[in-house]
Amino acid sequence: MPHIMYLSSFTETVLNAYKDKRPDSEVNVLLSFGTKSGDYPNMRKSPKINSMALDSGAFTKNFANAAATENITLDGFIAYCKWIKDRFELIFNYDENFNLGGFETNTRNMMKIEAAGISVVPVVHDYIGQVFNEIDFYLRKKYPIIALGSSVHKKSNRFNNIKTAVDKIVSGGSKVHLLGLTSPDILGVLPIHYSDATSWTQEGMFGNVIWWNPYKNGINKTDRVRFLDRENSDKIHSEHIENYPYRKYFEKYLWDELQLEILDIYGHEKNRNRQIANVHHFVKLQDIVRQMHIKNGFDV
């Protein structure tokens, strides 16, 4: 099975706008119980989406303010899953404790969800078994997919820690979902089966359009092009559209792939067009990761 990259924080408006430009593109979407919106019913039924996954909202619960998280509960998540579970290929555990010692709490939640008849993907936070060997536990239980979630091990010595975890999971016969990370110098060089991306929306909020620049050296050829309609944007990023050395190639890419011009990225519909361009980057990145896997001989 080729790598699947889910796009999170998605909306029906963005989906339709992108599909109007690229009707044949493969779009996979991660919805979150923590940020569920009125778009969700239509998106769950949409034939424009190839594969869907459901996040429990655990990240929102851990990092958003109290007002934003008061409706994110285990019982609420279970009730929601019972209602819509058949539409999702993956449903992630309600892993409310992101600390290295959170295994007991998170596993207790998972057992309650499973008792309600819902199959979920366990989420590991202790990649290297520093407190408890979570990966070995889930492998013994024969979970077909194991996710690697937020962890101090993803921030410090991240490549080695991720590689250690991925190698153990794959050698144990399970598949890997790497949550919240889309770096091709990790995804493409390790046998990772699933990932998800929020950057498509975050980049646009900061005035960036991202694209795969084939004229760059290195494994990761992602470029961020800054547009000068954000306060102090030239100070935050020295390389903006007016002095971008690959501008002519970037403009050709926008037109060839999406029939967009620079004025479209600056003009009245700039926010929508930036979203379209950033979504397209990750759709293409999914194919790039698949090609890297083939080149590296990974059977994913």
Q: Which among 76, 86, 87, 138 has a CA at the least distance from the CA of 117?
A: 86
pLDDT of residue 234: 53
- The three state secondary structure string of the chain is CCCEEEEECCCHHHHHHHHHHCCCCCCEEEEEHHHCCCCHHHHHHCCCCCEEEEECCHHHHHHCCHHHHCCCCHHHHHHHHHHHHHHCCEEECCCCCCCCCCHHHHHHHHHHHHHCCCCCECEECCCCCCCCCHHHHHHHCCCCEEEECCCHHHHCCHHHHHHHHHHHHHHCCCEEEECCCCCHHHHCCCCCCEEEECHHHHHHHCCEEEEECCCCCCCCCEEEEECCCCCCHHHHCCCEHHHCCCHHHHHHHHHHHHCCCHHHHHCCCHHHHHHHHHHHHHHHHHHHHHHHHHHCCCCC
Indicate the burial class of 32 (C-beta count within 10 angstroms; 0-12, 13-18, 19 or more). Answer: buried
Bridge partner residues of 146 (DSSP): 176
The pLDDT value recorded for residue 202 is 77
Question: How many other C-beta atoms lie within 10 A of the C-beta of residue 224?
Answer: 17
Give the pLDDT of residue 57: 86
Residue 236's pLDDT is what? 56
Going residue by residue through the chain, which has 300 residues, state the pLDDT in tens, using 9 for 90 and above.
Answer: 699 999 998 889 999 999 999 999 999 999 998 877 778 888 888 999 999 999 998 878 777 666 667 778 999 999 999 888 788 999 999 999 999 999 999 999 999 999 999 999 999 999 999 999 999 999 999 999 999 999 999 888 899 999 999 999 999 999 999 999 999 999 999 999 999 988 877 787 778 899 999 999 999 999 999 887 765 555 555 578 888 999 999 999 999 999 999 999 988 899 899 999 999 999 999 999 999 999 999 976
Contact 75, 31 (CB under 8 A): no
Specify the amino acid at residue 206: F
CB atoms within 10 A of CB 20: 9
For the chain, which domains are there?
A: 4-201 (3.20.20.105), 207-280 (no CATH)
- Beta carbons of 244 and 225 less than 8 angstroms apart: yes
* Contact call for residues 203 and 282 (beta carbons, < 8 A): no
15, 272 Cβ separation under 8 angstroms: no
pLDDT score, position 267: 82
Name the pTM for this structure: 0.93
The answer to whether residues 149 and 109 touch, using CB atoms and an 8 Å cutoff, is no
